[in-house]
Amino acid sequence: MQNKPELIVFSQNLLGGGASFHRNMLSHFPKDFFDIKCIYVSPSNWQGAKALDLVLNPRDIIFPYGNEGSRATAKNLETHISNKEGAIVANLETELICLDLYRKKNKTIYFICHDDGFINLAVKYESIIDIFITHNITVYNELIALLPKRKDDIHFIQHGVKVQIFEKQFRDNQKLRIVFLARHHAFKGIYDLPVINDILVKKGVQVEWTILGDGPERTNLMQKVADCDNFKFDIPKTSDEVVDILKMQDVFILPSKADGLPVALLESMSVGCVPVLANFSEGIKKVVTDQIGFVLPVGDNALFAAKIALLSQDRDLLKNLSRHSIEKVKEEFDIEKQALEYFDLYKKYKQLRRNHHLGLKDLQRILSYSSYYNKLIYSFKAVQNKLGLKNSA
């Protein structure tokens, strides 16, 4: 096919779910329609690990940036974005600022609203975004409530993972094996893990913890559990290594305060790990039902420990939930099917493109990228405050 349209996908050169999401999608997209280019943004101030298994295709690039300011970053990034007919898939503000300052009239802009932390970006840059995609039903409903005039442009499409074909092995009457796989941030609930372990010890429930992944607070967590002989840490180099480790686990735990539809959750379910999660979003209950696992109040470590103790004592329950987890992924989250849903939406880029008109809010947003404008606003507010003080005197 000659003169293919271009599909530019922004991803991250980081170890985490966002990068895994796009890697899974791209690896299952048909190759004969778009010229596909992936731009891996790589912030220098990220304290965690970079992606360990990143493989660049000929058109892909890694885009490093640091503290040069939003305008300078956008100017540098723009040189890698053509105005060739096609589509762009964006996720972060760095990308949206670039697309705001350097409009590409021949590109349809898709925005992935991964969780409720991305909603403010969706609203702020609504005028330059053609299509919104979310994979959490609660986020989908919130977006429609906030942008009712854009309802037809907001899509709910669950993503997926590779369906695993294997027979789950259980170890009756042995220590329950619990795995945590997420970036090591406080909001992911990493510091709840030692607390839950202490409660289990007091209950006389013995478990083995496997902590996977990396992040800025990894070292601190390791220090907190240094005296515990049932914690081990690992940073698998490839997705295949991750799955191999997950196959050996019984329970996937995620006491996160904020998430959408974690790739790690689906990967663990695909190999029969029973999910025990915090209710970081009501939408997650559509995925983890009572037949699959437990969705618990955020921060209720005593209840987390109680459910883990229940699974340790009732191995028949563990096996049933495990079987249902595997079936759920097969039925709803097969990456080969879900990737095509995304791809089919991207293929409609021409008919989904909107006419973008600059309004007052757009002008104010664009001006705000300038340090001179911000200094002017700061000075103006300072004068206002002084006048206010004089008036009140």
Q: What is the CATH number of the domain that holds 86?
A: 3.40.50.2000
Q: What is the DSSP letter of 279?
A: -
In this predicted structure, what is the pLDDT of residue 390? Answer: 43
What Å distances lie between residue 250 and 113, 116, 174, 179, 253, CA to CA?
Answer: 31, 29, 11, 8, 10
In this predicted structure, what is the pLDDT of residue 184? Answer: 92
Span 112-137, average pLDDT: 96
Contact 64, 303 (CB under 8 A): no
Structure tokens at 258: 């904020």
Residue 229 covered by a domain: yes
Query: Based on the domain organization, do 277 and 290 belong to the same domain?
Result: yes
In this predicted structure, what is the pLDDT of residue 228? Answer: 95
Query: Based on the domain organization, do 70 and 212 belong to the same domain?
Result: no
Contact 294, 307 (CB under 8 A): yes
Residue 311 covered by a domain: yes
Confidence of residue 84 (pLDDT cuts 50, 70, 90): very high
Site of tokens 């898709």: 110
Query: Based on the domain organization, do 22 and 147 belong to the same domain?
Result: yes
Query: Based on the domain organization, do 263 and 248 belong to the same domain?
Result: yes
Query: Based on the domain organization, do 195 and 245 belong to the same domain?
Result: yes
pLDDT at 198 over 50: yes
d(C-alpha 298, C-alpha 275), whole Å? 14
Query: Based on the domain organization, do 76 and 153 belong to the same domain?
Result: yes
Span 46-74, average pLDDT: 85
Confidence of residue 47 (pLDDT cuts 50, 70, 90): low
pLDDT (tens digit per residue) in 355-392: 988 888 888 898 888 764 444 444 445 545 555 544 43
d(C-alpha 48, C-alpha 28), whole Å? 28
Structural domain span for residue 350: 6-160+336-357
Query: Based on the domain organization, do 151 and 220 belong to the same domain?
Result: no
In this predicted structure, what is the pLDDT of residue 53? Answer: 72
Of the residues 333, 366, 381, the one at which a domain ends: 333
In this predicted structure, what is the pLDDT of residue 295? Answer: 97
Of the residues 288, 318, 333, the one at which a domain ends: 333
Residue 384 covered by a domain: no
Residue 364 covered by a domain: no
pLDDT (tens digit per residue) in 153-195: 999 999 999 999 988 988 888 999 999 999 899 999 999 999 9
CB atoms within 10 A of CB 23: 18
Q: Which residue has the higher pLDDT, 220 or 373?
A: 220
d(C-alpha 107, C-alpha 349), whole Å? 8
Residue 371 covered by a domain: no
Least confident of 39-48, 153-162, 277-286, 316-325: 39-48
Please count the structural domains in the chain. Answer: 2
CB atoms within 10 A of CB 244: 12
In this predicted structure, what is the pLDDT of residue 45? Answer: 78
Residue 16 covered by a domain: yes
Query: Based on the domain organization, do 221 and 73 belong to the same domain?
Result: no
